[in-house]
Structure 1
Amino acid sequence: MSAIAWTAAGSLAAWLWLLLGQGFFWRTDVRLPPRRDPDDWPYVCVVVPARDEAAVLPESLPSLLAQDYPGRAEVFLVDDGSTDGTGELAHELALGHGGLPLTVTSPGEPPAGWTGKLWAVQHGIGLARARAPEYLLLTDADIAHRPDSLRALVAAARTGGFDLVSQMARLRAESAWERLVVPAFVYFFAQLYPFRRIGVRGSRTAAAAGGCVLLRTEAAERARIPDAIRQAVIDDVALARAVKGSGGHVWLGLAERVDSVRPYPRLGDLWRMVSRSAYAQLRHNPLLLAGTVIGLLLVYGVPPAAFLLGLAAGDLPAAWVGGLAWALMAGTYLPMLRHYRQPLWLAPLLPFTAVLYLLMTVDSAVQHYRGRGAAWKGRTYARPETVPEES
């Protein structure tokens, strides 16, 4: 066989391993586990960090205030230095919609060593703990919840004995770029952190989705949340690792009752979302970056390249092996496209999307070495930290 055919064979072997040996990451049936209503519904405090969220708050906050929860619950919205009237709008929405009690507060600028979001979460959790809730629901300001969302989360946590229950919100996928990039974002996340492994006691795999995290207060205190992760840019994964590392039981799956209402209509919007934290995910390690680039090219770039080059050069082994690897790749992407209700013809375009993510990751590293670090909503973190892997 030619060198192209052998390279394609290596890619095919990688896809066979991903298909069967990576926790069946491509399946989308990991939803809230079986649950039953508890005899007594625990007290829950909802903490919502918000910075310049006036555009999305009218869709998200009323959904929280309208929760059909049988127990006691209240909402703390922490206005993190907004300049668009987020706090004032939250008050107006609460007056207009009613529902759960709402407290709007502001912690001021974060001190050195804290990211803005986690400083807001720290402030909100501090206020909530004074009420002695059994659970904390940490949710982002762009997340809309169905009326029974909190009820289902608490029932799942109580039934399964989980210290942390998190759902990956269904992100918006309406514009052309969102359709191309957003389902792949969740697909790649699940490939890195297979959901099935996260919920297994004793497994080292830990992750959460920051838009929706129900956390037992006792587990938060044991894991020193959020102080222990105060510098983390990828705070959801760091949170889950801290909880699991302190003996907590963690669960993550795809959402049925939780949706993100934040639009990313242009490629630049999606680019900034990914690149702001991509290099932090690699622990700012140039060797990991080089390995990631090579791995992405081998796994995602080689199959279509071998197929097309093989056809053009009459190299049938290369075309066959490359085509088979490409088909296998596309097949693993189909469940995620169905979950996002997207046309299935997008599946063969996954290599193109993977190259986009590769470029976003390289750009993230470039910005880091230029001293710009992770930038988000007017703040720049020159060297964000991630929580190291558990030993």
Structure 2
Amino acid sequence: MSAVAWISAASLAAWLWLLVGQGFFWRTDLRLPPRREPERWPAVAVVVPARDEAGVLPASLPSLLAQDYPGHAEVFLVDDGSTDGTEEVARELSERHGGLPLTVGSPGEPPPGWTGKLWAVRHGIGLARAREPEYLLLTDADIAHEPDSLRELVAAAESGGFAVVSQMARLRVASVWERLVVPAFVYFFAQLYPFRWIAREGGRTAAAAGGCVLLRADAAERARVPDAIRHAVIDDVALARAVKRSGGHIWLGLADRVDSVRPYPRLADLWRMVARSAYAQLRHNPAVLVGTVAGLAVIYLVPPVAVAVGLAVGDASAAVLGGLAWLVMTATYLPMLRYYRQPLWLALTLPATAFLYLLMTVDSAVQHYRGRGAAWKGRTYARPETHPEAAPDSRP
């Protein structure tokens, strides 16, 4: 066989292994686990870090205030140095809509070694501590919840004995670029952190989705969250790892009734979202970056290239092997497109989307070495090792 055919065979082998050996990552049927209503509903503090979120709060905060929860619940919104009137908008929405009590606080600028979000979360947990909540719902300012969301999350945690119950919010898919990039973002995340492996007690795989994390307060104390992960850019994964290391049982799945309302209408918006943390995901390691780029190329780019080359030069082996690999790839992407209610023909564009993610990852590394890595809303975070006081076990 030709060199192209051999590389195509390697790609096909990789896809056959991913199909059956990576926790069935491509399946999208994992929703909240079986649950029953507890005899006593525990108290919950909802902590919402918010930085310059005045534009999305009208679509998200009222959904939290309107939670139909049988026990005691309060919302603590922490204004993380906003300049767009986030605090005022939050107070006005609370006065207009009523519902759960709302406390708005501001911790000031984070000290060295802290990301702004985790400094805000720490402040929110501190505000809530006087109420002695048994659970903390950590949710982003752009996440809208159906009225029974908190009730269902707590019932799942109580029934399953989970320290963390997290749902991957359904991201907005409206613009052309959102249709191309967003479903693939969740698909790649599930491939990296198979949801079924996360729920295994004693397993090493740990992850959460930062937009919706229900966390037992005592588990947070045992894991020293958020202090132990205070500089983590990928804070949701770092949180899940810290809780799992401390003995907590965690669960992550897809959401049906928890949605992100944040728009990403342009490619540049999505590019910034991915690139700000992509190199941090690779632990700022050049060797891992090279391996990742090579892996993406073999797994996602080789199949369509092999088909094109095979047909052009009459290499039947390359065309057939590349076509089979592309077929398996396409089949694994279909469930995610169905979940996002997108046309199934978009599965054929996955290689192109993977190439975009490859470029975003490389750009993330370039920006890091230029001193502009992990930049978000006016802040740039240094590599964790530059903070001597950082906890050694908190790297994402």
Instruction: Tell me if both proteins adopt one fold, taking TM over 0.5 as the criterion.
Output: yes
Task: Check 1:389–1:30 CA distance in 2 against 1; reply closer, same or farther (3 A cut).
Answer: farther
Residue 5 of structure 1 contacts residue 306 of structure 1 at CA under 8 Å; is this kept in 2? yes
Aligned ranges 1:1-391 → 2 under 5 Å? 1-384=1-384
Residue 230 of structure 2 contacts residue 394 of structure 2 at CA under 8 Å; is this kept in 1? no
Matches of 2:348 and 2:287 in 1, distance apart? 30
Q: How far 1:382 sits from its partner (Å)?
A: 2.5
Matches of 1:75 and 1:316 in 2, distance apart? 62
Matches of 2:364 and 2:382 in 1, distance apart? 12
1:90-122 Cα distance to aligned partner (Å, 9 max, x none):
000000000000000100000011000000000
Residue type of the partner of 1:169?
A: A
1:106-141 Cα distance to aligned partner (Å, 9 max, x none):
000000110000000000001111210000000000
Q: How far 1:259 sits from its partner (Å)?
A: 0.2
Q: Which runs of 5+ in 1 are unaligned?
A: none
Matches of 1:128 and 1:18 in 2, distance apart? 43
The alignment yields a C-alpha RMSD, in angstroms, of 1.1
Q: How far 1:372 sits from its partner (Å)?
A: 1.1
Residue type of the partner of 1:223?
A: A
Matches of 1:294 and 1:388 in 2, distance apart? 28
Matches of 1:135 and 1:208 in 2, distance apart? 16
Task: Check 1:82–1:250 CA distance in 2 against 1; reply closer, same or farther (3 A cut).
Answer: same
Matches of 1:257 and 1:314 in 2, distance apart? 50
Residue 241 of structure 1 contacts residue 387 of structure 1 at CA under 8 Å; is this kept in 2? no
Residue 68 of structure 2 contacts residue 151 of structure 2 at CA under 8 Å; is this kept in 1? yes
1:261-285 Cα distance to aligned partner (Å, 9 max, x none):
0000000000000000000000000
Residue type of the partner of 2:102?
A: L
Residue 11 of structure 1 contacts residue 302 of structure 1 at CA under 8 Å; is this kept in 2? yes
Residue type of the partner of 1:185?
A: F
Residue type of the partner of 1:305?
A: V
Residue 238 of structure 2 contacts residue 394 of structure 2 at CA under 8 Å; is this kept in 1? no
Q: Percent identity?
A: 80
Task: Check 1:184–1:387 CA distance in 2 against 1; reply closer, same or farther (3 A cut).
Answer: farther
Matches of 2:31 and 2:61 in 1, distance apart? 24
Residue type of the partner of 2:367?
A: Q
Residue 232 of structure 2 contacts residue 394 of structure 2 at CA under 8 Å; is this kept in 1? no
Paired residues in the alignment total 390
Matches of 1:387 and 1:172 in 2, distance apart? 36
Matches of 2:256 and 2:101 in 1, distance apart? 25
Matches of 1:26 and 1:303 in 2, distance apart? 19
Q: How far 1:67 sits from its partner (Å)?
A: 0.3
Q: Secondary structure at the match of 1:94?
A: helix
Residue 233 of structure 1 contacts residue 384 of structure 1 at CA under 8 Å; is this kept in 2? no
Matches of 2:214 and 2:382 in 1, distance apart? 30
Residue type of the partner of 1:132?
A: E
1:160-190 Cα distance to aligned partner (Å, 9 max, x none):
0000000000000100000000000000000
Q: Secondary structure at the match of 2:167?
A: strand
Q: How far 1:376 sits from its partner (Å)?
A: 0.3
Q: Secondary structure at the match of 1:300?
A: helix
Q: Secondary structure at the match of 1:319?
A: helix
Q: Secondary structure at the match of 2:25?
A: coil
Q: Secondary structure at the match of 2:242?
A: helix
Matches of 1:170 and 1:12 in 2, distance apart? 30
Residue type of the partner of 1:272?
A: R
Q: How far 1:387 sits from its partner (Å)?
A: 7.5
Matches of 1:389 and 1:104 in 2, distance apart? 28
Q: Secondary structure at the match of 2:256?
A: strand
Q: Secondary structure at the match of 1:264?
A: coil
Residue 38 of structure 2 contacts residue 158 of structure 2 at CA under 8 Å; is this kept in 1? yes
* TM-score with structure 2 setting the length: 0.97
Matches of 1:9 and 1:65 in 2, distance apart? 54
Residue 238 of structure 1 contacts residue 387 of structure 1 at CA under 8 Å; is this kept in 2? no
Matches of 1:387 and 1:303 in 2, distance apart? 41
Runs of 4+ aligned residues of structure 1 deviating over 3 Å after TM superposition are 384-390
Matches of 2:257 and 2:67 in 1, distance apart? 12
Task: Check 1:389–1:312 CA distance in 2 against 1; reply closer, same or farther (3 A cut).
Answer: farther
Q: Secondary structure at the match of 1:104?
A: strand
Q: How far 1:384 sits from its partner (Å)?
A: 4.4
Task: Check 1:115–1:389 CA distance in 2 against 1; reply closer, same or farther (3 A cut).
Answer: closer
Matches of 1:10 and 1:303 in 2, distance apart? 10
Matches of 1:36 and 1:257 in 2, distance apart? 18
Q: Secondary structure at the match of 2:136?
A: strand
Matches of 1:387 and 1:40 in 2, distance apart? 38
1:35-56 Cα distance to aligned partner (Å, 9 max, x none):
0000110000000000000110
Residue type of the partner of 1:21?
A: G
Matches of 2:62 and 2:160 in 1, distance apart? 29
1:67-97 Cα distance to aligned partner (Å, 9 max, x none):
0101110000000000000000000000000
Matches of 1:128 and 1:165 in 2, distance apart? 19
